[in-house]
A = this chain, B = another copy of it.
């Protein structure tokens, strides 16, 4: 390549986009040393005019069609026009960097098939785990492994909220406001708090781990928005923290995939992951547990991951070898077997709100027993109010389907149960 620069076209100039420009400028010597040529932001596309009018273009196709641009960075997020931008850029012979987990999880097949067909690269380290290089760690660092399990705290917003609830004993709503104030939650936090963002990231990691396409609809997803502060406090006394965990486990009958709030023992490494930090544990057959930990949210950590991708990809662009070796080895014919969520097995924390009278306990334990849900511990916190008392049960490992049937029957017994029973998975 006899060009003077690697020319970057940036689409989306929000918080992360601005961070990318900042890091590229501050660390231009580092980038030059690694790439051999300077990296230059040639154009920036955004909906609205920006603080660098000399770089501004209004239409993303002005970037995609610019023959001088080597690398398109997509930072607008969401499904469309992100998908169109990525696909058109690849087809136009551009290499792509994106931080967009939603578009990757939803269009995995189309995006990586197109990249392979047009022999172009798409790097996306920033899409999972913020600054943590877990995409590469999984797909290259652990390339030789039979992956048995992936477990992670993958969303900085919800982890920040849960940390606030646990540390300060505040309700979900108040904790969310705190996260928004601290810049770790957006005005509309739905994708974060309902677990979809974590599910997108888990789908990406699982697709990489097992070489097929794991879809978000394959994952049993539950968010944190209806989490009761009572359960945070009770489980804290029991020695647990509540974390939103994405989990993918290889079982004999298929891959067991879920995103849900989980109780993790204080001794568990995930319990030490606080605020905007993320952590991912990958268990391989030969490797055992490998853990990655770092900031999962925030302008600079996310931008740092994007710029690392830009630098790594630029090394290949300089030598005209980008895209020759596919980053994701994906064969659309690969079919992965997914475990039906009812067959997923785990121990659970249950909280029953019941009338305070004799016979209630025997009724509940009878129904649990009928569905083979075996009780590991039982206690009655001092929370009697208006004749309603709380019974907290932890179970031995049980199938989710059986547990749900038992709870449905218990909750239908209106004479004793006064509100929907709370059920939270216990992470071992």
In the complex, the answer to whether A304 meets B291 with C-beta atoms within 8 Å is no
C-alpha gap A286/B140 in the complex (Å): 24
C-alpha gap A292/B293 in the complex (Å): 6
The answer to whether A133 has its CB under 8 Å from any CB of chain B is yes
Proximity string of chain A (289-301) to chain B, C-beta cutoff 8 Å, 1 when within and 0 when not: 1111111000011
Within 8 A of B (CB), among A260-290: 269, 272, 284, 286-290
C-alpha gap A146/B319 in the complex (Å): 24
C-alpha gap A294/B24 in the complex (Å): 32
Proximity string of chain A (27-68) to chain B, C-beta cutoff 8 Å, 1 when within and 0 when not: 100110110100000000000000000000000000000000
Instruction: Take A288-B301, A294-B290, A319-B325 as given contacts and tell me if A141 and B136 are in contact as well, using a CB distance cutoff of 8 Å.
Output: yes
Instruction: Point out the residue from B145, B272, B312, B324 that lies within 8 Å of A269, measured CB to CB.
Output: B272
Instruction: Take A291-B291, A329-B33 as given contacts and tell me if A308 and B133 are in contact as well, using a CB distance cutoff of 8 Å.
Output: no
Instruction: Point out the residue from B31, B33, B142, B321 that lies within 8 Å of A325, measured CB to CB.
Output: B321
A34 to B, closest residue via Cβ: B329
In the complex, the answer to whether A146 meets B211 with C-beta atoms within 8 Å is no
The answer to whether A303 has its CB under 8 Å from any CB of chain B is yes
A300 to B, closest residue via Cβ: B286
The answer to whether A307 has its CB under 8 Å from any CB of chain B is yes
The answer to whether A178 has its CB under 8 Å from any CB of chain B is no
Copies of this chain, whole number: 2
Q: Provide a sorted-by-A list of 25 A–B residue pairs whose CB atoms are within 8 angstroms.
A: A19-B286, A23-B286, A27-B146, A30-B146, A33-B211, A33-B329, A131-B286, A131-B288, A131-B290, A133-B136, A133-B142, A137-B141, A140-B308, A140-B312, A142-B308, A144-B304, A287-B295, A287-B300, A288-B294, A288-B301, A289-B294, A289-B295, A290-B293, A290-B295, A292-B293
Known pairs A133-B142, A287-B294; list 14 more (Cβ under 8 Å): A26-B146, A30-B146, A34-B143, A131-B142, A131-B288, A133-B137, A133-B141, A143-B308, A144-B304, A287-B304, A291-B291, A291-B292, A292-B292, A321-B325
A residues adjacent to B (C-beta < 8 A): 19, 23-24, 26-27, 30-31, 33-34, 36, 125, 131-133, 136-137, 140-146, 211, 269, 272, 284, 286-295, 300-301, 303-305, 307-308, 310-312, 315-316, 318-319, 321, 324-325, 329, 331
